[in-house]
Copies of this chain bind each other. A is one copy, B any other.
Amino acid sequence: MSQSLTIEEIASLAQVSRSTVSRVLNEHPNVRASVRERVLQVISEQNYAPRAAARSLANNRTQSLCFLFPNKTSSVFEDPFFAMLMQGMLEVANRRGYFVMLSAVAPDMEQDFYRKVLRSRPFDGLIMLASVEDDPLLPMLLRDRMPFVLCERHPYLRNVSWIEIDNRESAREAVLHLLKLGHRRIGTITGPLNTSSGVERRDGYKQALLEHGIGIAPELIIEGDYHPDGGFAGMQRLLQLPDPPTAMFIASDLMAIGAMRALRAAGLRVPHDTAIVSFDDLPAARFADVPLTTVHQPIRDIGLNATDILIDQLEQQDFTPTFRRMPTKLIIRDSCGASLRTGA
């Protein structure tokens, strides 16, 4: 890159000391207005910007955040859920003057990531997506007092900050909807059961059934992975039962899309033969073959709020654990069969 100026040169051009330029840069009040003007003038003329590295070294802050994605699968970024989350996060970070670094750590690289990256402190705080029960990174982060916010409640850790939705209640409502439509044999494909969203949505499913005096049938509960292939495989297994379910609560839209493929392959129609309610309300839910009835969660807002929380904590230097809960809403479309009934 071309030689860029230093604060020293700006100072001499503006005929003040480095300190004064620094004060102007950092919006210190104690600078005479006329001097400030002159300095700003020179800065603008010279197109000067202080070097991030020098600043970081001096004030111990990088003005950047890290978004840490799990990388169990090779396709995190292809998951629209993460994409939308990221959209929200990036928006806030930029608005509030933070850079954003991205990391996707493979399971076997976690130690390495911690040692080489995290301890070198290239960022002020981080946002973790989808915390797994036994995530090895969390204890290290806590020990080092690295500020972070989880984008989902951790299965049992509570002395951290997170942002969440009411997974259990939302799932319960989804299943109640199916019950109201007359279904009694309802299956579910859950999320990963080492995440709290996976467990909670399953529990909401169970609760709804029990409230209606319907027993839990273990063979109707299949653990999935939030991805289409998991939905496909799960549905296939359920279809092999002697008495397959007439309705499904599927813990993510993507899995529901996979499950619908399996149903179609088996010659079954949604919602006529099998009703479906899913979770997330991704754009794909609306455009699916059969538009999905699904629990809407404000994904972008979640990312947005998580980032706001983190930056607030950083700027106020107050890291007392906190959480925020976002609202959800059941969106009725075609896959549950409700429109069939009213239509009929």
- Return the CB mask of A70-107 against B: 1 if under 8 Å, else 0: 00001111101011101100100010010111111000
Contact B99 A101 (CB under 8 A): yes
Q: Tell me which of A8-16, A56-64, A149-157, A266-274 binds B.
A: A56-64
Q: Are B121 and A53 in contact (CB under 8 A)?
A: yes
In the complex formed, the residue of B with least CB distance to A113 is B94
A54 smallest CB distance to B (angstroms)? 5
Residue of B nearest to A116 (CB): B49
Q: This chain: how many copies in the complex?
A: 2
**Cβ of A52: which chain B residues have Cβ within 8 Å of it?**
56, 62, 120-122
- Residues of A in contact (CB 8 Å), total 56
Question: For chain A residues 223-251, which have a beta carbon within 8 Å of chain B?
Answer: 228
Tell me whether A326 is interfacial, beta carbon within 8 Å.
Answer: no
How many angstroms between the C-alpha atoms of A49 and B75 in the bound complex?
A: 30
What does the 1/0 interface line of A124-155 toward B look like (CB < 8 Å)? 00000000000000000001111000000000
Interface residues of A in 303-321 (CB under 8 A from B): none
Asked whether, in the complex, the Cβ of A102 is within 8 Å of the Cβ of B90, the reply is yes
| Seed contacts A4-B144, A94-B103; 11 additional CB < 8 Å A-B pairs | A2-B145, A4-B119, A48-B119, A53-B121, A64-B122, A77-B82, A77-B83, A77-B84, A94-B109, A101-B102, A261-B287
Query: A residues near B, CB below 8 A?
Result: 1-2, 4, 47-57, 62, 64, 67, 74-78, 80, 82-84, 86-87, 90, 94, 97, 99-104, 109, 115-122, 143-146, 228, 257, 261, 283, 287, 289
- In the complex, 16 of the A-B residue pairs with CB atoms within 8 angstroms, ordered by the A residue number, are A1-B144, A4-B119, A47-B115, A51-B57, A51-B120, A52-B56, A52-B62, A53-B56, A53-B62, A67-B102, A75-B87, A99-B117, A99-B122, A101-B102, A228-B287, A261-B287
